[in-house]
Amino acid sequence: KAGVTQTPRYLIKTRGQQVTLSCSPISGHRSVSWYQQTPGQGLQFLFEYFSETQRNKGNFPGRFSGRQFSNSRSEMNVSTLELGDSALYLCASSPEGSQPQHFGDGTRLSIL
Amino acid sequence: GNSVTQMEGPVTLSEEAFLTINCTYTATGYPSLFWYVQYPGEGLQLLLKATKADDKGSNKGFEATYRKETTSFHLEKGSVQVSDSAVYFCALSDPPVPYKYIFGTGTRLKVLA
Protein backbone atom coordinates (compact mmCIF):
# COMPACT_ATOMS: atom_id res chain seq x y z
CA LYS A 1 0.00 0.00 0.00
CA ALA A 2 1.54 3.32 -1.03
CA GLY A 3 2.17 5.82 1.74
CA VAL A 4 1.44 9.52 1.90
CA THR A 5 3.10 11.28 -1.02
CA GLN A 6 4.13 14.91 -0.89
CA THR A 7 5.41 16.92 -3.82
CA PRO A 8 7.73 18.56 -4.37
CA ARG A 9 10.30 17.46 -1.80
CA TYR A 10 12.22 20.72 -1.95
CA LEU A 11 11.29 24.26 -2.94
CA ILE A 12 13.22 27.51 -2.98
CA LYS A 13 11.26 30.74 -3.23
CA THR A 14 11.84 34.41 -2.59
CA ARG A 15 9.97 36.76 -0.29
CA GLY A 16 6.64 37.91 -1.64
CA GLN A 17 6.09 34.92 -3.90
CA GLN A 18 3.42 32.31 -3.38
CA VAL A 19 3.74 28.54 -3.30
CA THR A 20 1.48 25.49 -3.60
CA LEU A 21 2.34 22.17 -1.98
CA SER A 22 0.61 18.91 -2.81
CA CYS A 23 -0.31 15.86 -0.75
CA SER A 24 -1.73 12.54 -1.89
CA PRO A 25 -3.04 10.53 1.07
CA ILE A 26 -3.01 6.80 1.51
CA SER A 27 -5.69 5.20 -0.63
CA GLY A 28 -8.99 5.17 1.25
CA HIS A 29 -7.97 7.89 3.70
CA ARG A 30 -10.32 10.85 3.64
CA SER A 31 -8.78 13.00 6.38
CA VAL A 32 -5.72 15.07 5.51
CA SER A 33 -3.91 17.28 8.02
CA TRP A 34 -1.05 19.71 7.47
CA TYR A 35 1.70 20.62 9.94
CA GLN A 36 4.57 23.07 9.90
CA GLN A 37 7.86 21.95 11.46
CA THR A 38 10.53 24.49 12.40
CA PRO A 39 13.49 24.28 14.79
CA GLY A 40 12.08 27.10 16.91
CA GLN A 41 8.38 26.25 17.09
CA GLY A 42 8.48 22.49 16.54
CA LEU A 43 5.47 20.82 14.95
CA GLN A 44 2.39 22.99 14.66
CA PHE A 45 -1.02 22.11 13.29
CA LEU A 46 -2.08 24.14 10.25
CA PHE A 47 -5.44 22.68 9.22
CA GLU A 48 -7.35 19.51 8.49
CA TYR A 49 -9.66 18.55 5.65
CA PHE A 50 -12.23 15.82 5.45
CA SER A 51 -14.43 15.19 2.43
CA GLU A 52 -13.38 18.50 0.88
CA THR A 53 -14.31 20.50 4.02
CA GLN A 54 -11.94 22.21 6.39
CA ARG A 55 -12.88 21.02 9.87
CA ASN A 56 -10.31 22.88 11.91
CA LYS A 57 -7.58 25.44 11.52
CA GLY A 58 -4.55 26.21 13.64
CA ASN A 59 -3.26 29.58 14.67
CA PHE A 60 -1.72 30.72 11.40
CA PRO A 61 -2.33 33.87 9.36
CA GLY A 62 -4.73 33.91 6.44
CA ARG A 63 -1.80 33.67 4.03
CA PHE A 64 -1.91 29.94 4.72
CA SER A 65 -4.78 28.21 3.00
CA GLY A 66 -5.63 24.82 1.70
CA ARG A 67 -8.15 22.73 -0.11
CA GLN A 68 -9.07 19.13 -0.69
CA PHE A 69 -10.31 17.54 -3.86
CA SER A 70 -12.92 14.85 -4.34
CA ASN A 71 -10.20 12.19 -4.59
CA SER A 72 -8.94 13.32 -1.14
CA ARG A 73 -5.74 14.83 -2.51
CA SER A 74 -4.96 18.08 -0.79
CA GLU A 75 -3.05 21.23 -1.59
CA MET A 76 -1.67 23.88 0.69
CA ASN A 77 -1.02 27.41 -0.50
CA VAL A 78 1.08 30.11 1.11
CA SER A 79 0.88 33.60 -0.34
CA THR A 80 3.19 36.56 0.13
CA LEU A 81 5.98 34.40 1.47
CA GLU A 82 8.05 35.61 4.42
CA LEU A 83 11.46 34.47 5.59
CA GLY A 84 9.80 32.89 8.63
CA ASP A 85 7.81 30.56 6.41
CA SER A 86 10.94 28.52 5.81
CA ALA A 87 10.07 25.13 7.25
CA LEU A 88 9.35 21.49 6.63
CA TYR A 89 5.66 21.12 5.77
CA LEU A 90 4.24 17.75 6.65
CA CYS A 91 1.04 16.19 5.48
CA ALA A 92 -0.68 13.37 7.35
CA SER A 93 -3.65 11.21 6.49
CA SER A 94 -6.00 8.86 8.30
CA PRO A 95 -9.25 7.13 7.36
CA GLU A 96 -11.56 9.56 9.13
CA GLY A 97 -9.38 11.58 11.48
CA SER A 98 -9.86 9.68 14.70
CA GLN A 99 -7.30 7.00 13.84
CA PRO A 100 -3.52 7.42 14.04
CA GLN A 101 -2.18 9.72 11.35
CA HIS A 102 0.36 8.58 8.79
CA PHE A 103 2.84 11.19 7.67
CA GLY A 104 4.54 11.89 4.36
CA ASP A 105 8.22 12.81 4.05
CA GLY A 106 7.37 16.49 3.80
CA THR A 107 8.18 19.41 1.56
CA ARG A 108 11.12 21.52 2.64
CA LEU A 109 10.44 25.14 1.76
CA SER A 110 13.28 27.63 1.84
CA ILE A 111 12.64 31.35 1.47
CA LEU A 112 15.49 33.56 0.27
CA GLY B 1 -4.79 24.39 26.69
CA ASN B 2 -3.47 20.95 25.79
CA SER B 3 0.27 20.49 25.84
CA VAL B 4 3.02 17.88 25.77
CA THR B 5 6.35 18.17 27.56
CA GLN B 6 9.31 16.01 26.61
CA MET B 7 12.71 15.70 28.17
CA GLU B 8 15.39 17.80 26.57
CA GLY B 9 17.91 16.11 24.35
CA PRO B 10 20.16 15.06 22.97
CA VAL B 11 20.30 11.70 24.66
CA THR B 12 23.51 9.79 23.93
CA LEU B 13 23.71 6.09 24.77
CA SER B 14 25.96 3.18 24.03
CA GLU B 15 24.58 0.27 22.05
CA GLU B 16 22.55 -2.17 24.19
CA ALA B 17 21.90 0.46 26.88
CA PHE B 18 18.44 1.00 28.37
CA LEU B 19 16.47 3.92 27.03
CA THR B 20 13.89 6.11 28.72
CA ILE B 21 12.47 9.27 27.17
CA ASN B 22 10.09 11.09 29.46
CA CYS B 23 6.81 12.56 28.26
CA THR B 24 4.09 14.24 30.30
CA TYR B 25 0.92 15.85 29.06
CA THR B 26 -1.84 18.25 29.95
CA ALA B 27 -5.25 17.68 28.41
CA THR B 28 -8.81 18.64 29.18
CA GLY B 29 -10.36 15.38 28.00
CA TYR B 30 -9.20 11.82 27.61
CA PRO B 31 -6.60 12.00 24.88
CA SER B 32 -5.01 9.30 22.79
CA LEU B 33 -1.22 9.28 23.09
CA PHE B 34 1.41 8.52 20.47
CA TRP B 35 5.11 8.22 19.94
CA TYR B 36 6.46 9.09 16.51
CA VAL B 37 10.02 8.74 15.24
CA GLN B 38 11.70 10.91 12.63
CA TYR B 39 14.85 9.80 10.81
CA PRO B 40 17.01 12.37 9.01
CA GLY B 41 15.37 13.73 5.88
CA GLU B 42 12.14 11.86 6.47
CA GLY B 43 8.67 12.45 7.83
CA LEU B 44 7.26 11.05 11.03
CA GLN B 45 6.62 7.36 11.49
CA LEU B 46 4.12 6.12 14.03
CA LEU B 47 6.03 4.06 16.59
CA LEU B 48 3.27 3.16 19.04
CA LYS B 49 -0.01 4.38 20.49
CA ALA B 50 -2.32 4.06 23.48
CA THR B 51 -5.91 5.18 23.56
CA LYS B 52 -6.94 4.82 27.20
CA ALA B 53 -5.52 4.72 30.70
CA ASP B 54 -3.25 1.75 31.50
CA ASP B 55 -2.94 0.79 27.83
CA LYS B 56 0.57 -0.27 26.86
CA GLY B 57 1.68 0.47 23.34
CA SER B 58 4.59 -1.55 21.95
CA ASN B 59 6.47 -1.90 18.69
CA LYS B 60 10.01 -2.88 17.62
CA GLY B 61 11.08 -3.35 21.24
CA PHE B 62 9.79 0.07 22.32
CA GLU B 63 7.08 0.35 24.97
CA ALA B 64 5.06 3.10 26.61
CA THR B 65 2.25 2.91 29.17
CA TYR B 66 -0.56 5.46 29.40
CA ARG B 67 -0.49 6.62 33.04
CA LYS B 68 -3.48 8.83 33.77
CA GLU B 69 -2.60 9.34 37.42
CA THR B 70 0.77 10.86 36.53
CA THR B 71 -0.29 12.17 33.09
CA SER B 72 2.72 10.47 31.56
CA PHE B 73 3.60 8.32 28.56
CA HIS B 74 7.31 7.55 28.89
CA LEU B 75 9.05 5.71 26.07
CA GLU B 76 11.34 2.79 26.98
CA LYS B 77 13.49 0.26 25.21
CA GLY B 78 15.55 -2.38 26.90
CA SER B 79 18.48 -2.48 24.49
CA VAL B 80 19.02 0.26 21.92
CA GLN B 81 20.78 -0.17 18.60
CA VAL B 82 22.69 2.30 16.44
CA SER B 83 19.77 2.17 14.01
CA ASP B 84 17.50 3.66 16.71
CA SER B 85 19.31 7.00 16.38
CA ALA B 86 16.58 9.48 15.44
CA VAL B 87 14.32 12.17 16.89
CA TYR B 88 11.38 10.93 18.96
CA PHE B 89 8.16 12.90 19.35
CA CYS B 90 5.45 12.40 21.92
CA ALA B 91 1.99 13.56 20.81
CA LEU B 92 -1.60 13.64 21.94
CA SER B 93 -4.94 13.98 20.25
CA ASP B 94 -7.91 15.21 22.19
CA PRO B 95 -11.27 13.59 21.46
CA PRO B 96 -13.21 16.73 20.58
CA VAL B 97 -10.71 17.33 17.78
CA PRO B 98 -9.01 13.93 17.31
CA TYR B 99 -7.20 14.82 14.10
CA LYS B 100 -5.42 17.81 15.64
CA TYR B 101 -2.25 16.51 17.22
CA ILE B 102 -0.25 18.38 19.83
CA PHE B 103 3.42 17.45 19.67
CA GLY B 104 6.24 17.68 22.14
CA THR B 105 9.46 19.38 21.09
CA GLY B 106 11.15 16.11 20.22
CA THR B 107 14.11 14.31 21.80
CA ARG B 108 17.15 13.48 19.71
CA LEU B 109 18.65 10.08 20.46
CA LYS B 110 22.18 9.17 19.40
CA VAL B 111 23.33 5.61 19.91
CA LEU B 112 27.06 4.92 19.73
CA ALA B 113 28.51 1.59 18.63
The model's pLDDT over A62-93, given as tens digits with 9 standing for 90+, comes to 999 999 999 999 999 999 999 999 999 999 99
B65/B105 Cα distance (integer angstroms): 20
CA separation, residue A5 to residues A73, A91, B40, B42 (Å): 10, 8, 17, 12
**Looking at residues B13-29, what average pLDDT do you find?**
94
- Which candidate from A42, A58, A101 shows the least CB-CB separation from B105? A42
Q: What is the largest CA-CA distance in chain B?
A: 44
**Which chain A residue's Cα is nearest to B98?**
A98
* Better-scored residue on pLDDT, B43 or A87: A87
Contact flag A103-B44 (C-beta cutoff 8 Å): yes
pLDDT over threshold 90, residue B109: yes
Contacts of A41 (CB under 8 A, 6+ apart): none
pLDDT over threshold 90, residue B29: no
A110/A85 Cα distance (integer angstroms): 8
pLDDT over threshold 90, residue A23: yes
For residue A77, the Cα-to-chain-centroid distance in whole angstroms is 8
Percent of chain B with pLDDT over 90: 81
- Which candidate from A42, A50, A100 shows the least CB-CB separation from B46? A100
Q: What is the pLDDT of residue A1?
A: 63
With beta carbons under 8 A apart, name residues in chain B contacting A33. Answer: 99-101
pLDDT over threshold 90, residue B10: yes
Q: What is the pLDDT of residue A60?
A: 96
**Looking at residues B77-94, what average pLDDT do you find?**
95
Q: Three-state SS for A48? A: strand
* Better-scored residue on pLDDT, A107 or A96: A107
With beta carbons under 8 A apart, name residues in chain B contacting A103. Answer: 36, 43-46
* Angle (CA) B99 B104 B107, round 5°: 135
- Whose CA is closest to B52, among B62, B37, B67? B67
Check CB contact of B66 with chain A, cutoff 8 Å. Answer: no
